[in-house]
Structure 1
């Protein structure tokens, strides 16, 4: 069987969808080396893959910005991908595997040109791991931007990008690409963790795109939770989570308390491991359960509505279990995911900049009480389940790239 290198970016939403595929490849006899940051070691080791850690510069991430929808120029996202991920990570990955050989490499789509570098330097087939929607243009030209500031120094931005690209090209001994090509999605095959039904404009994409549906698999590291309490007082459950990165907005949690304190439903709020909510303890309504981290898959199987930032991973998990969304997109491709969910009738999208307790309460009640949202969520979820899953993705990959 084949030896496989799998490299993803350090984010829950880019790691979790790959777990089922990695385990399936291992179970099918492939030898997988998975590379990410140290905190994901235990989770990845449980798939049977060999885990290797690369390092990241968290201060550089902060400097470059974690919220692409706050960017005012397409190449601000290019800079985040190039200077924040490709330049520090890809040369290090190459150093860590310099004495190894592999038969094919699977690389997170958000690495863009970095994936192409790994495929070229290793001289093996490249597969794109797309945990978000795929696009027929560079990602930097898809994300909605804020209006440009008058003092934006575009010349300095281009100079930083050019210098960074030249450093990477020199370190890896490859050609310097056009700036627009840095954020393209490369690969002979592209494993897309959604269905053609949920993918916008899916007719544009040929059979080299494997729409496998979201990879929903058990998470052994999920925290404990007393599920009996979910319906001990109320018949309905509303789950609130704003993801693992942008979940520290205390003012949003205050707004939720005001909006939902008199709704006869059980609210479960995942506040984030690093969020300090001690200042809110006296204002928490009696119909709220708050924990830093909850077993999301198990909660969603019991939820009636999901209030979410509409990250691709979270939205897909909810819709897989037929849970409609009240989406409040914050960053990156979240507005695109929220819009597609609303277009398909499986939820409502709210503008984070115009959010009030009244608008939030009305949206939740509308989704909770109108069965059409549940029906449309079921249609999306059913399309996920019929897409073939990580088993079919593994079979397709192995039929093309594995050794017999």
Structure 2
């Protein structure tokens, strides 16, 4: 069997989709070496893979000014983040910790872009690109929102770093448009062709396998019987793992939903201090720092979410319609696609009011259309084959190479 190198950006939304695939590859007999950070050791070891770590700040995607998610006004901002924040910081570390090791192929994260190509070239092995969001037909922020001077300065800064890296690794200098491209012989997308925007523009190298639904072994228990004893319908709120510390938003949720005859379960985040709001939590709310989301979604009627790709895919997999409040990065694109297909309502974070949120929740709870549309997307995700099909495709492909 093959010896496989897996290199994924150390972020929840990128590591988690890869875990089912890695588990299946190891179960199928592949020897998987997973290079990531210490923060993800437990999860990765549970897959059966061997983990090799490198230093990287645990809270980088929450606080680092380059890596912190933002709304990109121009594609060059996204590309600069990739080069300066991801490729320059991670690729040298990866090459150092795997020095002198041999592999048969590599699976790398799409957020590394050209960095994955560098690894494949230096190791002289074929590559698979792991795409944790939609496959981007165009980079994020493709519509210009910067002045001509700002665009020129950003281009020059990006290409300066790119040129330095190309010289360091003795590889050719890519055009700026090539840096974020999904490289590799196979491009693995954890969604369905039906849900993917502009899927007709993507060739057969893009393999759509649906989300990687795998139960987290470290997830805490939750008494769902408690919900059924209270109200017949449940609203679940979770705003991701990076930008989930907005107490003003949680207070708005209390005011909007506190007097509705529904259960409201709020996952506030492990590192969010809810003490300032402790006396304001309505009687119909259950607030926990962390909840097993896959279990929770199976008891949810409406999901209030930031529209991160993982959370959105998991909700749709279980036919749950959504009220979406996209915050940054690819979230507006994901929310737009869900609303376009009729499975949810998008609200603007900048003008959000208690009335907006309440009316959106009541609309989805009372109108079966949203549930029906969520089911259609969910069925396409369930039929895509999941991580078992992904592993089979990868292993069959490289068995022929």
TM-score interval w.r.t. the shorter chain?
over 0.9
Q: SS where residue 352 of structure 1 aligns? A: coil
Shift of 1:66: 1.6
Match of 1:265 in 2: 262
Match of 2:65 in 1: 63
Question: What pairs with 1:235-246 in structure 2 (closer than 5 Å)?
Answer: 235-246=232-243
Deviation digits for residues 294-313 of structure 1, max 9, x if unmatched?
A: 10000001111100000000
Gaps of 5+ in 1: none
Between stretches 52-61 and 199-208, larger displacement belongs to 52-61
Distance 1:357 1:108 in 2: 38
8 Å CA contact 1:2–1:403 kept in 2: the answer is: no
1:294 matches 2:296: no
Q: Which TM-score applies when normalising by structure 2?
A: 0.95
8 Å CA contact 2:6–2:33 kept in 1: the answer is: yes
Q: SS where residue 183 of structure 1 aligns? A: coil
Match of 2:21 in 1: 21
Q: SS where residue 210 of structure 1 aligns? A: strand
Match of 1:233 in 2: 230
1:211 matches 2:212: no
Shift of 1:135: 2.2
CA-atom RMSD, angstroms? 1.8
Match of 1:256 in 2: 253
Match of 1:109 in 2: 110
Deviation digits for residues 346-401 of structure 1, max 9, x if unmatched?
A: 11111111110000000011111111111111111111111111111111100111
Question: What pairs with 1:311-326 in structure 2 (closer than 5 Å)?
Answer: 311-326=308-323
Distance 1:361 1:4 in 2: 49
Question: What pairs with 1:74-223 in structure 2 (closer than 5 Å)?
Answer: 74-137=75-138, 139-142=139-142, 147-148=145-146, 153-223=150-220
Match of 2:371 in 1: 374
Shift of 1:140: 4.0
Q: Which TM-score applies when normalising by structure 1?
A: 0.95
Match of 2:389 in 1: 392
Shift of 1:164: 1.4
Distance 1:241 1:79 in 2: 29
Say how many residue pairs are matched.
399
Q: SS where residue 290 of structure 1 aligns? A: strand
1:365 matches 2:362: yes
Distance 2:342 2:150 in 1: 41
Shift of 1:65: 4.9
Distance 1:157 1:382 in 2: 42
Q: Could you list the runs of 4 or more consecutive aligned residues of structure 1 that deviate by over 3 angstroms after TM superposition?
A: 57-61, 147-150, 152-156
Distance 1:159 1:386 in 2: 45
8 Å CA contact 1:192–1:209 kept in 2: the answer is: yes
Between stretches 211-220 and 223-232, larger displacement belongs to 223-232
8 Å CA contact 2:60–2:68 kept in 1: the answer is: no
The 3 A distance-change label for structure 1 pair 157 and 240 is same
The 3 A distance-change label for structure 1 pair 59 and 386 is closer
Match of 2:38 in 1: 38
Q: SS where residue 191 of structure 1 aligns? A: strand
Distance 2:44 2:129 in 1: 19
8 Å CA contact 2:267–2:287 kept in 1: the answer is: yes
8 Å CA contact 2:26–2:32 kept in 1: the answer is: yes
Q: SS where residue 350 of structure 2 aligns? A: helix
